[in-house]
Structure 1
């Protein structure tokens, strides 16, 4: 004789079945996500900066920015810090009538980085051929300045180019050597990027290259912004947008300052 089902037994089994189905669905989803991540290729190079904005205030005296990253295996790391492109005129002085010195010849270059430094775990010319260095413009000797016009013959252009690089190095805007990249356990790396007090403002790029077997196997570009903020930035913008008013205000301030100084000295 068959027993009749107890009232409410089906209702009690229904939440159990729903919970079991939900658990199986969640397990299937987690398995699918794990397989998808396992199938994704591992990035050979990852890099980032400790900060992406350098704020220049009236008390700015230079700053350091930490670059850090990791690779998927052994290899050398080269990074290039490049400032915004500018146009520069290089002039050469010569004696006139044997009495005074004046600017005679000049050369104008475009695509001149306002700031340029190279960092590497080993000297770049030891791990990369000249063709690759030239392709990626690694090293001041491989920078591709664009010659706009000139008043001298082609034989004098290299001298003007070398003079431009030398002046930039003297100002501390171009590195006069290759700075170190520290490798940690052949996977992690770091470098300290230094920006002097006279660093130009604008959009910078930090180019990181992973080198293996004499070639670039991976590259990553990280942006960096250097900008003026505060009262100094407002004065700079005013001087750029309204130069006539800025000059007039500077004259007035100089006159008032001189008058106040004269009054103070007379009282003493």
Structure 2
């Protein structure tokens, strides 16, 4: 209900004088129903509603990505019955999550040079290999994308943006349970006649809260102490199990 009311305000605000003139003339206004996703114990993913309005007919493309990090792709081979690491290749500027949404197929809305410029579509993500001259770069790049898709962090197909009339739009974005914490950006593009005529960016913060967050923070701030405590807890649990079986 709250998201619906906000969407109606976005749509009717310019007509009612509820927004300043400069904002009322914006070709595109978009927002999320919630800018914070809290990861607690038992987190199984979440749905985020992105909605907005345009100043007239057009199509909308959404790109959600971030934060970027360095990733090593490792190839394992079986030697004498044991799997060992044989080769690795590093990549920079790899987004932790990448997903898209569009009102029509993206390739029908924009030409390839513009899609590459705005990094629309997995092939257009500007992932930088540490060794661009590696003869197996294509194989390792494909493995990186495949692993991201298998973990649900890279969406292979765009979600469908639905229009209500010619101006009001909405789309549900699924955030997987394996999502890392950090600040993400939802980039919203208004497209007309194969040109981008409006852009808006809105943040999405994913953060751990509660007891699990306290443990996570302690483990990263005091790694040695966390390791000692983990070993002591394991020993204590083993001792309790030993007592339980001995009494039988």
TM over 0.5: yes
**Pair 38,256 (structure 1): closer, same or farther in 2 beyond 3 Å:** closer
1:119 corresponds in structure 2 to 101
Deviations 1:176-220 (A, max 9, x none): 211111111120100101112111100000000001111111110
Aligned partners of 2:247, 2:81: CA distance in 1, in Å?
48
SS across alignment from 1:114 = strand
Deviations 1:214-238 (A, max 9, x none): 1111110001110001111110011
TM-score by length of 1: 0.81
1:93 corresponds in structure 2 to 76
1:135 aligns with 2:110: no
SS across alignment from 1:83 = strand
Equivalent of 1:222 in 193, 202, 209: 202
2:244 corresponds in structure 1 to 264
**Pair 40,227 (structure 1): closer, same or farther in 2 beyond 3 Å:** closer
**Runs of 5+ unmatched residues, structure 1:** 1-33
**Runs of 5+ unmatched residues, structure 2:** 1-16
1:182 aligns with 2:169: no
The 10-residue stretch of structure 1 (133-142 or 100-109) with the greater mean CA deviation from structure 2: 100-109
TM-score by length of 2: 0.87
Aligned residues: 230
How far is the alpha carbon of 1:39 from its aligned partner?
A: 8.4
1:205 corresponds in structure 2 to 185
**Pair 183,149 (structure 1): closer, same or farther in 2 beyond 3 Å:** same
1:70 aligns with 2:43: no
- Counterparts of residues 16-95 of structure 1 (less than 5 Å): 42-95=25-78
Aligned partners of 1:174, 1:39: CA distance in 2, in Å?
36
Aligned partners of 1:205, 1:162: CA distance in 2, in Å?
24
How far is the alpha carbon of 1:41 from its aligned partner?
A: 6.5
How far is the alpha carbon of 1:95 from its aligned partner?
A: 4.8
How far is the alpha carbon of 1:59 from its aligned partner?
A: 3.0
1:3 corresponds in structure 2 to none
SS across alignment from 1:177 = coil
**Pair 157,263 (structure 1): closer, same or farther in 2 beyond 3 Å:** same
Structure with higher Rg: it is 1
RMSD: 1.8
How far is the alpha carbon of 1:64 from its aligned partner?
A: 0.8
How far is the alpha carbon of 1:155 from its aligned partner?
A: 3.2
Aligned partners of 1:39, 1:131: CA distance in 2, in Å?
31
Aligned partners of 2:214, 2:143: CA distance in 1, in Å?
34
SS across alignment from 1:211 = strand
